[in-house]
Structure 1
Amino acid sequence: MSLPLISPQKAHALVAEGAKLIDIRDVDEYAREHIAVAQCVPLNTLPAGLNAGPGETVIFHCQSGARTSGNADRLALAASPAQAYVVEGGIQGWKQAGLPTVEDTSQPLPLMRQVQITAGLLILLGVVLGYAVSSGFFLLSGFVGAGLVFAGVTGFCGMARLLNMMPWNRRTS
């Protein structure tokens, strides 16, 4: 089952009429930037029902629309029996439409972006040092690449766990 896509402008109008706007991104993504009226209900904690009745409207969004589209069945079940929609383009589409968001740059970057930045820097460092200093530094790039494959296969990312413990990732209120 797929949920109908609606434009950010239409979603904004429905929210003004009382529709529930649900942000399914992780808490750290929400803390960094969100739509002011959106309620954060991360996808992995989404309950079977959002306490929405048959006459109500529930609108889901994520960062770009990929998570909401990929989980449409689960979202439709969570919103049932209410009418449910997905914001086209997610929060990125919302911003491109000129609609406001609340941004808190004192919050850390989302953890997966931190992993991507760190892994990319370590791989680049291994290649540069491998050419400039010693070919043994190429092992650094190989080690990071193997770690990313392991994380993809098992769902366990040691780099994410390590970065999550860093002081800059302590939540501020």
Structure 2
Amino acid sequence: MPTPNTATAVSSALTADQLRSRLEQLTVIDVRSPGEYASGHVPGAHNIPLDRLKQALPALRDAAGRGELAVVCASGSRSQTACKQLAEAGIPAATLIGGTSAWTAAGNPVNRPAGARRVWAMDRQVRLVAGSLVAVGVLLDLAVPGLRWVSAAVGGGLVFSALSNTCAMGNLLGRLPFNRGTASCDLDTTLAALKR
């Protein structure tokens, strides 16, 4: 087994058209929150939220031994992060360029469990919360001088998020009940399916 932090696998990228034409040959992993996944996912995709990817490495290694993996998220950012983590563990995977947004924009179908409600994509949720915190910090600074530093801290966090390609706010939002869906990710069932 490869040692962590040793990139022994190569990650690649697929367009929505390439994924569609190879969908039957690929094992698709959706790394979004269970709520995002339930609101519409690539047909046949398995949900393994990014924050639980390390737990899934043995099953993903088994699945990659039988065929190629494709990793999907909303826009492609989280799937790139997942592919990097997989490559460091010696598991090759391809990311879907543009994520499910590109998939649906190309006119491809999504599966949605009956009764599932739509959840905003995580990047949209982060923009709403960050923008709200900045606006509230600026407005409250008019009444209580010094609160503008809340806005400055949010701005600094967004810069750090972009530079490190991580998102603490997204991780926190992903843990909220509405992002967990009506039935949260049953990781054990997903991992068992991947080992077959």
Common fold: TM-score over 0.5: yes
The residue that corresponds to 1:121 in the other structure is: 132
CA distance in 1, matches of 2:68, 2:180: 35
Unaligned 5+ runs, structure 1:
none
Which residue in the other structure is 1:164 paired with?
176
Count of residues paired in the alignment = 160
Give the aligned partner of residue 143 of structure 2. 136
Percent of matched pairs sharing the same residue: 26
Distance 2:180 2:65 in 1: 40
Report what 1:13 is aligned to.
21
Structure number with higher relative contact order (C-alpha < 8 Å, ≥ 6 residues apart):
2
The one-letter amino acid of 2:99's match is: G
Residue ranges of structure 2 left out of the alignment (5+ in a row): 1-8, 162-166, 184-196
Aligned CA-pair RMSD: 3.7
- The match for 1:39 among 40, 46, 49 is 46
* Larger strand percent: 1
Could you report, residue by residue, the CA deviation over 1:5-52 in whole angstroms, capped at 9, with x for unpaired residues?
12212212222x342111112223223332232111122212223122
The answer as to whether partners of 2:71 and 2:93 remain within 8 angstroms in 1 is yes
SS in 1 for 2:101: helix
Larger Rg: 1
Q: Deviations over 1:112-164 (max 9, x none)?
A: 6445323423433454576xxxx2256554335436657969x866xx57x93
1:30 aligned partner, one-letter code: Y
Q: Which aligned pairs between 1:21-32 and structure 2 lie closer than 5 A?
A: 21-32=28-39
- Give the deviation of 1:105 after TM superposition: 6.8
Structure 1 residues 122 and 73 mapped into 2: Cα distance closer, same or farther (>3 Å)?
closer
Q: Please tell me whether the aligned partners of residues 20 and 38 of structure 1 are also in contact (alpha carbons under 8 angstroms).
A: yes
Cα drift, residue 61 of structure 1? 1.4
Alignment partner of 1:48 is 2:57: yes
CA distance in structure 2 between the aligned counterparts of 1:105 and 1:90, rounded to whole angstroms: 20
Tell whether the 8 Å contact from 1:127 to 1:141 is kept in structure 2 after alignment: yes
Distance 1:40 1:170 in 2: 11
Contact 2:140 2:148 in 1 (8 A): no
Separation of aligned partners in 1, 2:43 and 2:116: 15
